[in-house]
Amino acid sequence: MASKIHTLLVTPPFTQLNTPYPATAYLKGYLNTINATSVQVDLGIEVILSLFTKDGLSRLFQTIANVEIALESNEQRIVSLMEEYLATIEPVISFLQNKNPTLAYSIAERDYLPEASRFRQLDDLDWAFGNLGIQDKARHLATLYLEDLADLIKNTIDPFFGFSRYAERLSLSAESFDPLYESLNQEPSFTDDILFDCLKQKLEQHKPTLVCLSVPFPGNLYGALRCGQFIKEHYPDTKVAMGGGYPNTELRNLKDVRLFEFIDFITLDDGERPAQLLLEHLEGKISLEHLKRTLTEQNGKIEYLNGAKLPDVPFSQTGTPSYEGLELDKYLSVIEITNPMHRLWSDGRWNKLTMAHGCYWKKCTFCDISLDYIKNYEPISASIICDRMEDQINQTGETGFHFVDEAAPPALMREVAIEILRRKMKVTWWTNIRFEKRFTPDLCRLLKASGCIAVSGGLEVASDRLLEQIQKGVTVAQVAQVTDNFTASGIMVHAYLMYGFPTQTEQETVDSLEMVRQLFELGVIQSGFWHQFAMTAHSPVGMNPEAFGAKSLLAETGSFAHNDIPHEDTQGTDHAIFSEGLRKSLFNYMHGACFDFPLQEWFDFEIPETTISPYQIEMAIQNNPGTQASDNNKLLWTLPIPAASFYTKKQKGKTSEKCKFLIHTNQASETAIFSKSQGEVLNKLFPSLTLNNEVSITLGKFREAYESNNSESFDKLTKSQGWQTLRKTGLLIV
């Protein structure tokens, strides 16, 4: 019988600078529930912090000096300013870790940091700095300074280097393992050597018997395999497993056994149960045949092992993601772009949680809806979600949350918001959504009250015909109305945009751009990103291209990765030519500029005139139906119960009895005036509207209660000025 297994959970380089990728935290949270000993490490931030020190940069400059390479003018400039970089690097890193805030004044003056090519864009962005404070301006400048150094590394000694994509091109659409295999069998790069130093230190410190490598993206695969290679060479008794988003989507049909020279196991889909059973196998409790969704090499062949009798762990029982062991104060808050919504991905540290496993919609034809992480929808209760939020606040001291759902369900978001307010939690959060009509003005106001600051959602192709083809379940007008609801409530909106879906015409691309221009000009979306459609193997389009007007150009499935499918549009449109024009236009729109430019301005080839009315989005917003109330909706009062006072009003010789409610918001005070009889009933019923109640009252039940205590109809009450004041301040129908 083997001894108890000790597990090291590793995120290989590189994902993000500002916050840990959550996969190891999710798995550690579950392992804690079954008392399995584990530690976790983010080698991405470890490598960055080893490199960007005075000693690390000295090593870098010495390495560059020792290689025979002709430096371009930009690299020559950086090398000539070596002493300036060595003197400033550690203070800058400390500043980006929020430990040296007064340095912002020196950085912002533009005479502290050495500047290379990345700073050239500042001529175009100077106008944006008027909207930034000193700290933010300095953080942006410090980010450009690091990117200059990254360019130096990439252009001299390590062409694979990148802050969030390490050797990604070797892994993208890698039908063959040959390029990766050849690179892995070359001498380690400058960055590889730093990675090995960091990994060795962790292996010596923790002495694991199992290392689990989480590979969420193509840009992590090379680093993961370098880790596996190092472990195999220097710690041959340590087993290595790999899981995460990349193998889940790319390696399901793996045939190249050479991959198992670097690792021992690959687990697919949800990792909790496969990891648990792998531990039990290594402890000698179960045989290989009883593993779950696990690939391994046996007798020179790849075997898929799935004989486990235990089902997957229910989402409600996976535990709270644990950040224990990750040094959260070491992450860097960088500002790559000044747009306030766009920077959420790189600035600040966010606790990562999920409201529901999978996607409640799971119909979009471009999406991998056949895979487990999307098709198996399993929500959990708002109570469990808030329990996990409180657990993470206690762990990390951070009150910011990014819910990383495929698309957070509106009904569950409502319940989470109510529970947050009920518990009086002061948190900040954002998430991914679908722009569906259930996001009414009142629901958006409720989400805002609970701490929601931003949402991101897929507008995809801003064309009703193509949205129907995609089965997105929304229209452009509906998106305009929903984004207006969010923006009016104070919640920022990011839109994912797509071009090049099969059968999309040149005219539809131009019209989509015009829709996007109007959405930005009217201020209902604040951020966006265009990406060209990619056909994937596990999507409805990828599984049946002809049905969508496309033709696969893939002759046969390769022996390694299988996800992206090269294809051609049978309509013959060359979608790639629009890429740069769409990118440039969006960059300007995100900075509030160039709305008056003709669309032709963005392209160096002739495009057709748009067929979209210049008032199309404006008209859609004007036709916003608002909050459509039904008796089944919840009626909530989100502010402190207002104080009621009764008085007599004399006007034109007549007297009337009135009731005044004094309403206090965080910003101001307002009064709502009712008749005496209306006020008496409302004063009696107000406690039923508050969030202190475990069960919220419905609009129908409130109507019944009001009319049973008052001879006048509820409809008369709702038409009063006082009721409109309540609705404007804190009374929501959701």
Q: Give the DSSP letter of residue 407.
A: S
Q: Is residue 458 a contact partner of residue 496, using CB atoms and an 8 Å limit?
A: yes
169/198 Cα distance (integer angstroms): 24
Query: Any long-range contacts for 163-166 (C-beta under 8 Å, 24+ apart)?
Result: 163/14, 163/17, 163/48, 164/14, 164/15, 164/16, 164/17, 164/219, 165/14, 165/217, 165/218, 165/219, 166/12, 166/13, 166/14, 166/191, 166/219, 166/220, 166/222, 166/223
Read off the DSSP letter of residue 310.
S
Per DSSP, the three-state class of 484 is: helix
The pLDDT of residue 82: 98
Six-digit token pair at 554? Answer: 């893939």
Strand partners for 496: 458, 529
What span, in angstroms and rounded, lies between the C-alpha atoms of 463 and 609? 16
- The predicted model gives 482-502 an average pLDDT of 96
For residue 120, the model assigns a pLDDT of 86
Token output for 217: 């993206």
For the chain, the helix, strand and coil percentages under 3-state DSSP, each to the nearest 5: 45, 15, 40
pLDDT at 199: 98
Q: Is 411 exposed, middle or buried (0-12, 13-18, 19+ CB in 10 A)?
A: middle
Closest CA to 115 of 71, 65, 149, 87: 149
Instruction: Tell me which residue of 67, 7, 70, 74 sits closest to 34, measured CA to CA.
Output: 7
Q: How far apart are CA 437 and CA 474, in angstroms?
A: 8
pLDDT at 174 over 80: no
DSSP code of 285? S
Instruction: Write out the two tokens for 295.
Output: 């690939």
Please report where in the chains the tokens 């600040």 appear, as a residue. 348
Q: For 352-392, what is each residue's pLDDT tens digit? A: 999 999 999 999 999 999 999 899 999 999 999 999 999 99
Q: What is the pLDDT of residue 173?
A: 62
Residue 19 has a CB neighbour count (10 Å cut-off) of 26
pLDDT of residue 156: 95
Q: What is the pLDDT of residue 651?
A: 81
Residues 6+ apart with CB under 8 A from 577: 605
For the chain, list the domains and their CATH numbers: 7-47+166-317 (3.40.50.2300), 68-156 (no CATH), 340-533+572-622 (3.80.30.20), 635-733 (no CATH)
What whole-number distance in Å separates Cα of residue 41 and Cα of residue 200? 12
Identify which of 190, 347, 194, 176 has the alpha carbon closest to the alpha carbon of residue 250.
Answer: 176
- Rounded to two decimals, the pTM is 0.93
pLDDT of residue 197 exceeding 90: yes
Average pLDDT, stretch 728-732? 96
Kindly tell me if the per-residue pLDDT of 127 is higher than 60.
Answer: no
Question: Which two tokens mark 256?
Answer: 């190249």
Amino acid at 559: S
Angstrom distance (rounded) from CA 647 to CA 657: 6
In three-state secondary structure terms, 72 is coil
Helix (H, G, I), strand (E, B) or coil at 410: helix
pLDDT given at position 126: 52
The closest alpha carbon to 239, from 195, 283, 197, belongs to 283
Chain segment 260-298, per-residue pLDDT in tens: 999 999 999 999 999 999 999 999 999 999 999 999 999
